[in-house]
Amino acid sequence: MSWDELVAAALIGTDRRPVEADAPPGSPEALEATLGGRGAEDRLLVASAAWTVARRAGAQAGASRTVEPVAADARPLCSAAAASRLELLLEVRELVDEWLGLADRAGVRPPPELAPALLDYAEARPERQAAVLGALGALAAWLAAREPRWAYALPVDDDVWKTGTPDQRQALLRRRRQEDPEAARALIASTWAEETWEDREAFLGELELGLSEADEPLLETALQDRRKPVRDVAAELLARLPRSAFAARAAAAARPLLRVEDGELVATLPEAEGRGRRSERLTELIAAAPLDVWTSGTNAETAGGDGAADGALAGLGLAPAQLVALPVRDDLAAAVHAGWVEAAINQRHEAWGRALGLLELLPHAEAEARAAAADDPVRAAERLRWTWGPTLSNAVVASVKRRREQGGRDIDVAFVGYRIDPATEVDHLRELGGRDIGRLCDVAAIRAAMLSEFV
């Protein structure tokens, strides 16, 4: 009697296929006795159960292999309270980055049992990966070698550029760009003609990190791409290189569009279909031009490149603050200023940021001082996406209280809890009511407690 015969009898039926159901070889005598005297159906069921156990127990054990332990980490573990806090934060996916920053400054590491959750946390978010990998140390790569979805934690292997998925290739490119910008650029150039336009667009965007004039030739190539999304990325990056040939061409196109006349700024609408589109085109051309073209003596002094060699285009001769303060004829102030704002953000231009009220472009101390002194510190501080110092924190909290007491609910203030100094007293705000106020207070309390767990 074999297992296959038992299965066949069970499928067909013992009436049609009588079998002499026996126990497996080597079974206890008691089992043999149990089978004796039973009907065919009972003998089949008992024998099948016995054979099932025998088959499972009789499997040969697989070959064992030694797993090298992960390298020791000299950093001490964080406190039990901090570990419990991290576990809760990972469940809601909030404030984890701040926890990792505190741990890094304290020189401690998270408990290893939370490593899988941390690797999952950063899996699809490249901006989180550096902090997670730094926190886990050698453990990250050790675990990633056993779980494909954490491949971003493995040492960089340039073969991935030839054999990997688009996501793996982009992860490699990002790592290379951080470590060796020239090598990353060479990778893109090596396969540029073979890539899909979606990959060309994605890979080109990685040049934003460490963007320099050395990237200009590749970006100029991309500027001729058949696909508009690729050209748009190239144009946006080239606009951030004020000495590039692209910037010189943009300056030559934009400079004739603005002039100062009788104490006013006069804008000339470029050619386009419809006044609305001409106004949009004006904004686009101003945004693409290097900002110094408006304030310099000649275009050649700032733009550089062959496109500015004649130096024929003089600047407007005024400082950024003076230009921004000028009235603009024909209701074109919004179009002109929108172009300047976009250019200032792209070029990270401090003087123009100051003139346009873009506090995020200023040094942190100056930005916070200006926001704290503003008529509405809440609005002014909204774009300052870092942890504020005590002065601005207290000014914003006082402004929140004042706004709500006066009935102002035009802005959700929950974001304040994520940015104020954790030592700021906010509990007195709870009496104002409102879901956003409650959220503000809860987040601020969590951050204050979290800070104390690293002291």
Torsion angle defined by CA atoms of residues 9, 12, 14 and 19, in that order, rounded to the nearest 10 degrees: -30
Query: What is the rounded end-to-end Cα distance, in angstroms, of the chain?
Result: 72
Contact in structure between 133 and 153 (CB atoms under 8 Å): yes
Vertex 367 angle, CA 385 and 339, to 5°:
80
pLDDT of residue 204: 97
Q: How many residues does the chain have?
A: 455
Report the distance separating Cα 299 and Cα 309, nearest Å: 9
Contact in structure between 152 and 125 (CB atoms under 8 Å): no
3-state secondary structure of 147: coil
pLDDT of residue 271: 87
DSSP symbols for 54-103? HHHHTPPPPPP-PPPPPPP--SPBPPHHHHHHHHHHHHHT-SHHHHHHHH
Phi-psi bin for 29: left (phi > 0), alpha (psi -120 to 50), beta?
Answer: alpha
Q: Rounded to a whole number, what is the largest CA-CA distance in the chain?
A: 119
Q: Confirm whether pTM is higher than 0.85.
A: no
pLDDT of residue 34: 66
For the chain, percent of residues with pLDDT exceeding 70: 90
| Below-70 pLDDT ranges, the chain | 1, 19-23, 25-37, 59-61, 273-274, 297-314
- Whole-angstrom CA distances from 324 to 29, 267, 338 are 101, 13, 11
Q: Where are the beta strands (DSSP E) in 89-140?
A: none
Report the distance separating Cα 371 and Cα 381, nearest Å: 6
Contact in structure between 124 and 145 (CB atoms under 8 Å): no
Q: Which of 159, 109, 162 is nearest to 139 (CA)?
A: 109
3-state secondary structure of 213: helix
Beta bridge partner(s), residue 264: 261
Give 438-448 pLDDT, tens digit per residue: 999 999 999 99
Structure tokens at 148: 């494909």
